[in-house]
Chain A
Amino acid sequence: MSNDMGAVMVVGGGISGVQTALDLAESGFKVYVVENKPSIGGVMSQLDKTFPTNDCSMCILSPKLVELARHPLIDLMTLSEVTEVSGEAPNFKVKVRHNPRYVDMDKCVGCGICADKCPVKVPNEYDEGLMERKAIYVPFAQAVPLKYTIDEARCLKLTKDRCGLCEKNCPAGAINYDDKPVEETVDVGAIILAPGFDAFDARLKREYGYGDYQNVLTSVEFERFLSATGPYGGHILRPSDQEAPKKVAFLQCVGSRDSNTNEYCSSVCCMYGIKQAIIAGEHTAGLEPSIFFMDIRAVGKEFEDYRARAENEYGIRMLRGTRVASIDEDPDTKNLYLRYAVDGEVFEEEFDMVILSVGLEPPKGANELSQVFNVDLNRFGFAGTDVYSPLSSSKPGVFVTGAFASPKDIPTSVAEASGAAAKAGAFIAEKRGAVEELDIEEIDVEGQEPRIGVFVCDCGINIRGTVDCPAVTDYSKNLSNVVHAEEMKYACSADAQQRIREVINDENLNRVVVASCTPRTHEALFQSTLKEAGLNPYLFEMANIRDQCSWIHQNEPERATKKSMDLVRMAVAKSRLLEPLTESKLPVTRSGVVIGGGISGMTAALDMAAQGFEVDLLEKTGELGGNAIKIFHEEDGRKVRDFANELVSRVSNTSNITVHLNTPVEDISGFVGNFKVKIRDEEIETGSIIVAVGAKEYVPKEYFYGDDKRVVTQLELENKMQQGPLDAKTIAMIQCVGSRNTEAPYCSRVCCSNAIKNAISIKKENPQAQVFVFHKDIRTYGFREDLYKEAGRLGVDFVRIPEDQPPELSKEGESLKMTARDTILGEDLVIRPDMVVLSTGIRPNEDNEELAKMLKVPLSKDKFFLEAHMKLRPVEFATNGVYLAGLAHWPKFVDESIAQASGAASRAITVISKPELKSEGIIAAVNEDLCDGCGICEPVCEYKAITITENPKNPEKKKAMVNEGLCKGCGGCVAACPSAAMEQRGFKNEQIIAAIDAALEESE
């Protein structure tokens, strides 16, 4: 890569930092990722499952970690910290200190012999101290990079100059006790801060006895209990006696919404508490979870469903509006007595185990970060941002993403991470580069008899300690077509790569088999070695004789040796039939189309334009601005509509944005990089499409709305308040009108905060006015909790009503009469309001279905657009090249829409910044002679990569066609094809069958 390529520094290697780095690198920028821990992954790597899909956290995270570590444009700096920043964007100079690892990363192969021999046991941070590690360690088994680290505070050699066992035993000679901190200065154009958060220290809530009572755990610890790699292998056991608990209490808001600790709401604890209760119940039969909470803040996509399932299907006991006052432990049984009040009555109840749902706090070191990078923190100690620029810090060119700006869940963090990449990229857009391709001519192997080379790795003693590697090597020599076999100490070392290249050239090898560790981590390395030697990288096969043989059969050396021979024989059999594959290149139209001209659409268009791309912005109505133009209230001291108007003029003044008003989309064809969007009188060619069509306000049918002028919506109330003082003394606000009911079971997320904002305005203008808010839960998550507190101080009356019993409104003569059940007082409340304000929900557009069909993307059951993955792909569809932002995705606030729109822009830029797209090598291919065009494969494809077209050779027949730009290479269609016409390159039927036959051949 060239030296003048634009670079960005990302501070923090959690999911936010990882996503932002990957987006930038994929857009052609150099990235430095600075992580102070020995490996990346952050808190997400500690989680067992993620809500609301109960996805395995590690399964979805680790491919991203591996991708980051392997990316040629990303420089991963672990155990490192930034000490000094000077200059201004886009000319920052950042001084980074690399702290000593005491292990040479180039030499360490992650075998773990050092840790085996190390005599010092230390509580493992990854398992929250519930398990032990050694003084030389990797934080967890799947750590990236998989390189050992010496804990300098605990190592006997470093502290007392004794021991030295790791150095003596390291077969790779990787230990270096004399390692010293190294400083380096890098030039970057922009900086992204993603240091994450720290969990609240539960010891500060003394009344819950955490730290003293063995069976009181934090939610982070409990996450490790749930994990298969945790202290009890995924079994829920009480720490005091290792018995399975029956009654488990989950206490919400520990270190959140609490004037003694943190006043804000931590946003994620309700959902993770429910998740932990569900999973715990699945792990342990007969477990009875109870959740003690104030409000359940299930505001995200499918969250409300998840909550309902927890209550109705899983039978989780929900104690609403209940905060536990204190916990006492029975010193004999170690059972726990919880004291709490319901409707004024005090209860004491015995539990076997208590989980404290701890809140999210600014990361330790936030103050230092703020000083080093010269960015402001807000009054809670999180990064200070503005509603209208949610990704920008107070310092130009320095952006923030993830929980550092406010407590938030993973999908919001991931969307923001992409968004921050779009913002940072704008500073260095003219210095976009690309990974330099190796220019080595490929050897033509067509028609050649296979000449296979087999390299058997000892992995020090990791394989050779169990498997007789010389015997496996000799065995390999006798397999047909094998012309060369040799044993290697470390097949992954640099000198081994050199040796493999030499052998390829000397022996004219046209296939290579390496018998060593797992292709998941090492296939790419060996493939690039083949490439350097002029061989097609797909003429390579691996036999996993370490992870899946020597390590799992340590006590059976003879059988492990025989099995290694079996595995090599299988790999050789498959390799004989391997073919060179080419990643075909597809041209890209380097521009974007944004559908929808609201805040989200305009933001996405501006972000793409800021990086120099042409954008067509399509709006079906006659004006830009969307819903925001109707919003009069202020956020951060500025009216939403004023901001929307500013965006409209910025869009109009941006030369590379073409606005098309009154322009509905008529048809869309093509695929990633090459879409054609048909509008009225033209067809726009584009590389990517962003769906930002928004949503609409629910029009109420209930409560005399439309018939009685005293009944208005919140937006209408805002309009009225613009025109002068309200002519009403008693005002009743009804929440969840058109939300959380049978017609629309989901929560509309924004109505609580908006209602309270208006209630505050009313009270401020006229303190005598009586304002009632009838609600099921108050969902002012995050820092919006401030609003709830302020409204309470100003005397707004919050009345909690039952889930299934909305208030009733009737007329007595001219006056309105409202009756509602007050669940806290346990009685009916009757008021005569002068004005009734309906907090109406957000509904998806009716024409979403039509657009979804044109784009071949799905809708959720609530008819919002459905993203590819609710956790880690929040702004993109499974169909490549199509992205999503704003209310079209789900109800959300202005700041969230803006961040998501920037995220969608960033994802789109990863496509259109490349002059051409490379398809995957391992994709499906049709044998046109065999294909009957039956169409069975077409619906099997999750990526809409298959179409049935006319067969050019025989116009009477049809045939399947695979779009190489869309195919992800899963092979699902291949197994579905009844005529063996579909094949998966690299995993062809004959190749797999050769391996099966070889596996079952009787080995001598």
Chain B
Amino acid sequence: MKMTSTQHETQAATAATGEQFEPKIIAFCCNWCSYAGADLAGVSRLQMPTNFLVLRAMCSARVDPEHVLRAFSKGADGVMVLGCHPADCHYIGGNYRTRRRIALLKMLLEQYGLDPERLKLEWVSASEGVKFQNTVTDFVEMIREMGPNPLIEAEKQHKAERAKYGH
């Protein structure tokens, strides 16, 4: 069906290295563009890693900073917010608000000791199945290289220490 389709090779890599870190990623997709783009990737049978779970929102502007922080605090290694391209928003200007909120939220993440790169905002239209595939694939790879969510690691250590000293 498609002339261009890339096959990812994570399985081969896993086999070679044995224990490979598998990031957990939450992807918020707006209903009208990015969720449709993700569906198109499926209809076009574009292959990509399994490490992400999509949450549908009517508009990317519905994504509350609280949702992103919640995902990180519950162990997400990366969060993506995908919306309509600028000027394409189904709700006129929601994505402009998303853009501002995500910029602020990135600053906040830094203060929590999280690399702001772990949060990604991208525009994916309903006809950009390939862009959805590439965005997901690249993000998964990037997070894989960055390693696990340090908040969770720190918490684990903290728990281990508390256990050690018998608290």
Q: Which residues of A contact B (CB under 8 A)?
A: 48, 53-60, 62-63, 112, 115, 131, 141-142, 227-229, 231-234, 518-520, 544, 546-549, 551-556, 559-560, 562-563, 566-567, 570, 868, 878, 922, 940, 942, 968-972, 974-976, 984, 987, 989, 992-993, 995-997, 999-1000
| Residue in A59, A63, A552, A999 whose beta carbon sits within 8 Å of that of B41 in the complex | A552
Per the 8 Å Cβ criterion, residues 93-112 of B in contact with A are: 93-94, 97, 101
Most buried by B among A234, A570, A969, A996: A996
With A942-B93, A970-B62 known as contacts, the answer to whether A997 contacts B74 (CB < 8 A) is: yes
Residues on B with beta carbons closer than 8 Å to the beta carbon of A549: 42
Most buried by A among B56, B71, B76, B130: B56
**Given A987-B58, A1000-B26, 17 new contacts (CB under 8 A):** A59-B36, A59-B125, A60-B88, A131-B3, A141-B1, A229-B129, A232-B4, A233-B130, A519-B56, A520-B31, A551-B42, A552-B41, A552-B46, A940-B61, A971-B57, A972-B94, A993-B66
Whether the Cβ atoms of A55 and B87 lie closer than 8 Å is yes
Q: How many Å from the CB of A700 to the closest CB on chain B?
A: 36
Whether the Cβ atoms of B94 and A942 lie closer than 8 Å is yes
Q: How far is the CA of A60 from the CA of B130 in the complex (A)?
A: 19
Q: How far is the CA of A723 from the CA of B129 in the complex (A)?
A: 66
CB-CB nearest in chain A for B62: A971
| Residue in A112, A563, A970, A996 whose beta carbon sits within 8 Å of that of B71 in the complex | A996
Residues on B with beta carbons closer than 8 Å to the beta carbon of A56: 33, 84-85, 88, 125-128
Provide a sorted-by-A list of 8 A–B residue pairs whose CB atoms are within 8 angstroms. Answer: A553-B48, A559-B50, A562-B50, A970-B61, A971-B57, A971-B59, A975-B101, A987-B62
CB-CB nearest in chain A for B33: A59
Whether the Cβ atoms of A970 and B58 lie closer than 8 Å is yes
Whether the Cβ atoms of A555 and B94 lie closer than 8 Å is no
Q: Indicate if B117 sits at the interface (CB-CB under 8 A).
A: no
Q: Indicate if B16 sits at the interface (CB-CB under 8 A).
A: no
Per-residue CB contact flags for chain B residues 11-31 toward chain A (1 = under 8 Å, else 0) read 100000000000010100001
With A519-B56, A554-B47 known as contacts, the answer to whether A976 contacts B97 (CB < 8 A) is: yes
| Residue in A57, A520, A971, A975 whose beta carbon sits within 8 Å of that of B35 in the complex | A520
Residues on A with beta carbons closer than 8 Å to the beta carbon of B97: 940, 972, 975-976
Q: How many Å from the CB of B56 to the closest CB on chain A?
A: 7
Whether the Cβ atoms of B53 and A567 lie closer than 8 Å is yes
Residues on B with beta carbons closer than 8 Å to the beta carbon of A922: 58
| Residue in A115, A519, A546, A993 whose beta carbon sits within 8 Å of that of B70 in the complex | A993
When A and B form their complex, what is the total count of cross-chain residue pairs whose Cβ atoms lie within 8 Å?
190
| Residue in B47, B61, B67 whose beta carbon sits within 8 Å of that of A992 in the complex | B67
Residues on A with beta carbons closer than 8 Å to the beta carbon of B74: 996-997, 1000
| Residue in B2, B42, B91, B127 whose beta carbon sits within 8 Å of that of A942 in the complex | B91
Q: How far is the CA of A547 from the CA of B74 in the complex (A)?
A: 26
Q: How far is the CA of A566 from the CA of B52 in the complex (A)?
A: 10
Whether the Cβ atoms of B129 and A984 lie closer than 8 Å is no
Residues on A with beta carbons closer than 8 Å to the beta carbon of B11: 555-556
Most buried by A among B57, B92, B101: B92
Whether the Cβ atoms of B4 and A975 lie closer than 8 Å is no
Q: How far is the CA of A518 from the CA of B129 in the complex (A)?
A: 15
| Residue in A54, A552, A975 whose beta carbon sits within 8 Å of that of B61 in the complex | A975
Whether the Cβ atoms of A232 and B56 lie closer than 8 Å is no
Whether the Cβ atoms of B32 and A59 lie closer than 8 Å is yes
Q: How far is the CA of A749 from the CA of B38 in the complex (A)?
A: 42
CB-CB nearest in chain B for A992: B67
Q: Indicate if B64 sits at the interface (CB-CB under 8 A).
A: yes
CB-CB nearest in chain B for A977: B64
Q: How far is the CA of A971 from the CA of B93 in the complex (A)?
A: 12
With A567-B53, A984-B62, A987-B62 known as contacts, the answer to whether A993 contacts B93 (CB < 8 A) is: no
Q: How many Å from the CB of B119 to the closest CB on chain A?
A: 14
Residues on A with beta carbons closer than 8 Å to the beta carbon of B85: 56
With A232-B4, A975-B61 known as contacts, the answer to whether A996 contacts B55 (CB < 8 A) is: yes
Q: How far is the CA of A789 from the CA of B40 in the complex (A)?
A: 48
Whether the Cβ atoms of B35 and A59 lie closer than 8 Å is no
Q: Indicate if B160 sits at the interface (CB-CB under 8 A).
A: no
Q: How far is the CA of A112 from the CA of B54 in the complex (A)?
A: 24
Q: Indicate if B115 sits at the interface (CB-CB under 8 A).
A: no
Q: How far is the CA of A691 from the CA of B72 in the complex (A)?
A: 49
Most buried by A among B46, B47, B131: B47
Whether the Cβ atoms of A992 and B88 lie closer than 8 Å is no
Most buried by A among B7, B35, B61: B61
Residues on A with beta carbons closer than 8 Å to the beta carbon of B87: 53-55
Q: Indicate if B43 sits at the interface (CB-CB under 8 A).
A: yes
| Residue in B53, B90, B131 whose beta carbon sits within 8 Å of that of A566 in the complex | B53
Q: How far is the CA of A491 from the CA of B118 in the complex (A)?
A: 37
Residues on A with beta carbons closer than 8 Å to the beta carbon of B76: 999-1000
Of all A-B residue pairs in the complex, the 9 with the closest CB atoms, nearest first, are A971-B62, A547-B42, A972-B61, A970-B91, A551-B42, A970-B59, A942-B92, A56-B125, A1000-B74
Residues on B with beta carbons closer than 8 Å to the beta carbon of A995: 55
Q: Indicate if B156 sits at the interface (CB-CB under 8 A).
A: no
Q: How far is the CA of A942 from the CA of B97 in the complex (A)?
A: 11
Q: How many Å from the CB of B48 to the closest CB on chain A?
A: 5
With A229-B129, A552-B47, A992-B67 known as contacts, the answer to whether A141 contacts B94 (CB < 8 A) is: no
Residues on A with beta carbons closer than 8 Å to the beta carbon of B50: 553, 556, 559-560, 562-563
| Residue in B38, B62, B127 whose beta carbon sits within 8 Å of that of A547 in the complex | B38
With A233-B3, A970-B94, A974-B62 known as contacts, the answer to whether A987 contacts B130 (CB < 8 A) is: no
Whether the Cβ atoms of B91 and A547 lie closer than 8 Å is no
Residues on B with beta carbons closer than 8 Å to the beta carbon of A974: 62, 64
Whether the Cβ atoms of A975 and B64 lie closer than 8 Å is yes
Q: How many Å from the CB of A924 to the closest CB on chain B?
A: 10
Q: How many Å from the CB of B87 to the closest CB on chain A?
A: 5
Q: How far is the CA of A519 from the CA of B76 in the complex (A)?
A: 25
Q: How many Å from the CB of B126 to the closest CB on chain A?
A: 4
Q: How many Å from the CB of B60 to the closest CB on chain A?
A: 9
Residues on A with beta carbons closer than 8 Å to the beta carbon of B31: 520
Q: Indicate if B65 sits at the interface (CB-CB under 8 A).
A: yes
Residues on B with beta carbons closer than 8 Å to the beta carbon of A984: 58, 62
Q: How many Å from the CB of A263 to the closest CB on chain B?
A: 36
With A55-B88, A970-B61 known as contacts, the answer to whether A992 contacts B125 (CB < 8 A) is: no
Q: Indicate if B63 sits at the interface (CB-CB under 8 A).
A: yes
Q: How far is the CA of A234 from the CA of B1 in the complex (A)?
A: 15
Most buried by B among A229, A232, A974: A229
Q: How many Å from the CB of B75 to the closest CB on chain A?
A: 5
CB-CB nearest in chain B for A134: B1
Q: How far is the CA of A518 from the CA of B133 in the complex (A)?
A: 17
Residues on B with beta carbons closer than 8 Å to the beta carbon of A54: 87
Whether the Cβ atoms of B45 and A551 lie closer than 8 Å is yes
| Residue in B24, B54, B58, B126 whose beta carbon sits within 8 Å of that of A62 in the complex | B126
Q: How far is the CA of A142 from the CA of B62 in the complex (A)?
A: 26
Whether the Cβ atoms of A141 and B44 lie closer than 8 Å is yes
Q: How far is the CA of A518 from the CA of B31 in the complex (A)?
A: 11
Q: Indicate if B122 sits at the interface (CB-CB under 8 A).
A: no
Residues on A with beta carbons closer than 8 Å to the beta carbon of B53: 563, 566-567, 570, 999
| Residue in A141, A556, A968, A976 whose beta carbon sits within 8 Å of that of B40 in the complex | A141
Q: How far is the CA of A559 from the CA of B4 in the complex (A)?
A: 24
Q: Indicate if B141 sits at the interface (CB-CB under 8 A).
A: no
Q: How many Å from the CB of A791 to the closest CB on chain B?
A: 39
Whether the Cβ atoms of A878 and B92 lie closer than 8 Å is yes
Residues on A with beta carbons closer than 8 Å to the beta carbon of B48: 552-553
Residues on A with beta carbons closer than 8 Å to the beta carbon of B128: 56, 228
Q: How far is the CA of A547 from the CA of B39 in the complex (A)?
A: 5
Q: How far is the CA of A971 from the CA of B101 in the complex (A)?
A: 14
Whether the Cβ atoms of A992 and B40 lie closer than 8 Å is no
Q: How far is the CA of A53 from the CA of B76 in the complex (A)?
A: 36
Residues on A with beta carbons closer than 8 Å to the beta carbon of B125: 56, 58-59, 228
Residues on A with beta carbons closer than 8 Å to the beta carbon of B4: 232-233
Q: How far is the CA of A391 from the CA of B111 in the complex (A)?
A: 62
With A552-B48, A570-B55, A976-B97 known as contacts, the answer to whether A59 contacts B126 (CB < 8 A) is: yes
Q: How far is the CA of A60 from the CA of B39 in the complex (A)?
A: 16
